[in-house]
Chain A
């Protein structure tokens, strides 16, 4: 397998608006940090707020996978590798940023939730389209919020579990693996032209 030129990877990331996406993820992490007093403590609202922002970061990662070139890009050979590099770079960056934002308040859970939500969003991007990939993680956040509110948190609402729950971690990693595999292999579905 030929090595990828760094310039090609950079051009790919730029075509996906990677700098803007990174800036937005940094902004989300900053908001999470600033809202820390409201995102810790008892109650469903404080419990759900970190999930919302993790889902937001996941939605941005997935929205960034939209291919602006249409069919011509499908014919190029390094596209799957470039997509893998893009997703891996963003997941790692977002995980680090969210963990920093949640320092002192279960940062591992923030990383796990980002991984799981990103997997969900990437699968949605593959099946529906990248700009609408936010729907699944956000809908799932609503479900988890209901579980937190009703104090019936279980594996069906794994993002609400503490980081020490290994089953929740396995579910998140499986989702991330599935989403990464799908987006790498097939790319985001081209439903219609996308704004740049």
Chain B
């Protein structure tokens, strides 16, 4: 068997696509996310998401390997050899899978090594890496089974495209339609972004994915064995057992998937959830030394994140600093959201959502604009109220704040209302002292929605 594996390793086509995979990975966002800020869990989820790329090629390589005997018209000749045909074909698949798995493991090792040099908090997180590997094995096994069963020239492209289509389709179902079936996509992050550093990671979804992928693996290997059922009774029995077990496990995973729910810490699967381990992780925030201190979790302190956020938030909030009722601090918080006002507490603190800043500016541009608008509106609307429901007067003051910070406001949150634009211009024309005095007097009424644009001096 070892000799057979060695021969297969030399002749398997899988290594030929590895340079292409490396090139594609280098061009994808996974490689571009390797600059600080480095969060362990985020990087592990990035490696897991590389299955989107490696999975279709692994499936196609397995299908190509499985169809080899038929393609080279060797099936009859090999049928006359004494070796178990299922094990012989399985050896070829194992080698094909081995090359792809080795590529995945090397990718994970490289990414984690880079992360170890950059991370400022926490340690490696293995669950996403393990469920990514399980997904890779499942993709390869699926391709192997289809390559054996569908003896056509179209099987390899169909397997490659089909694998990618299923991965993307499931993910799109989860993101765009909220379908729970999409949680099983290898692309769906096993951990919620908000839970990355603020809460103890809950591997519920990773466990569910692994169960589902093991079931699919059983189905695929069972189908492959079924292909050789006429050769030996033992293969037929093994195939039937694998099919039954695979079907049962996949159905169980489907049932568990239906019970999954999303909370602020990520995905909760009741059967796997450990409520005792679900707790906030204590930390001491790192703050900027700016007029309005901006604080982030220490895990986000590795790159330029704090400087970028402190500069942006201080530019927007500069004219209202010192006004009673305005925030004394801005703080990254897991409950923060760009869609809702982030003020809370007394004295007020401005919460904003955690996200990673690569480089010296927020990207993409559309997100940067939305975030700036969210900060500006959060200063003048009540805490936890939707920013999209801001009144014209609140919009006018936020528009003034954005303009003085030289941040262009886009249509949407700021509709083309001449009264809003005129009120923002009038406020800009006021002297700083008069503006502060007016805001001090009227801030409560502004937040309560009792001020109209015409009331703004």
Q: Which residues of A contact B (CB under 8 A)?
A: 17, 20-21, 24, 31, 35, 37-39, 41-43, 45-46, 48-49, 52-53, 55-56, 59-60, 62-64, 66, 130-135, 138-139, 141-143, 145-146, 149-152, 192-196
Which listed residue, B70, B155, B165, touches A31 by the CB 8 Å rule?
A: B165
A195 x B161 contact (CB < 8 A): no
B158 x A53 contact (CB < 8 A): no
B175 x A43 contact (CB < 8 A): yes
Q: Which residue from chain B places its CB closest to the CB of A31 in the assembled complex?
A: B165
Interface residues of B in 137-171 (CB under 8 A from A): 151-158, 160-162, 164-165, 168-169, 171
B153 x A142 contact (CB < 8 A): no
Which listed residue, A17, A59, A143, A195, touches B27 by the CB 8 Å rule?
A: A143
A142 x B364 contact (CB < 8 A): no
A49 x B154 contact (CB < 8 A): no
Does B279 touch A at the CB level, under 8 Å?
no
A39 x B172 contact (CB < 8 A): yes
Nearest-CB distance from A57 to chain B (Å)?
9
Query: Which residues of chain A are near B165, meaning CB under 8 Å?
Result: 31, 35, 49, 52-53, 56
B28 x A192 contact (CB < 8 A): no
Which listed residue, B53, B158, B365, touches A24 by the CB 8 Å rule?
A: B158
B172 x A45 contact (CB < 8 A): yes
Report Cα–Cα, A31/B156, bound state, in Å: 18
A131 x B160 contact (CB < 8 A): no
Does B294 touch A at the CB level, under 8 Å?
no
Report Cα–Cα, A145/B168, bound state, in Å: 10
* Residue of B169, B173, B177, B365 most packed against chain A (CB within 10 A): B169
User: For chain B, what secondary structure do more than half of its interface residues adopt (helix, strand, loop), or is it mixed?
Assistant: helix
B154 x A149 contact (CB < 8 A): no
Which listed residue, B20, B28, B70, B168, touches A146 by the CB 8 Å rule?
A: B28
Does B24 touch A at the CB level, under 8 Å?
yes
Interchain residue pairs with CB less than 8 A apart (28): A20-B152, A37-B176, A37-B177, A38-B172, A38-B176, A41-B176, A45-B168, A45-B175, A52-B165, A52-B168, A53-B165, A59-B158, A60-B154, A64-B154, A131-B156, A132-B156, A135-B17, A138-B56, A138-B160, A138-B164, A139-B20, A142-B27, A143-B24, A143-B27, A150-B29, A152-B364, A192-B71, A195-B67
A134 x B160 contact (CB < 8 A): yes
Scan B175-189; emit 1 where CB is below 8 A from any A CB, else 0.
Answer: 111000000000100
Query: Which residues of chain A are near B27, meaning CB under 8 Å?
Result: 142-143, 146
A195 x B153 contact (CB < 8 A): yes
Query: Which residues of chain B are near A146, meaning CB under 8 Å?
Result: 27-29
Q: Which residue from chain B places its CB closest to the CB of A150 in the assembled complex?
A: B29
A38 x B70 contact (CB < 8 A): no
Apart from A20-B152, A38-B169, A149-B29, 13 more pairs, CB < 8 Å: A35-B172, A45-B172, A59-B160, A63-B153, A131-B64, A131-B153, A133-B157, A134-B60, A134-B156, A134-B157, A135-B17, A141-B164, A196-B153
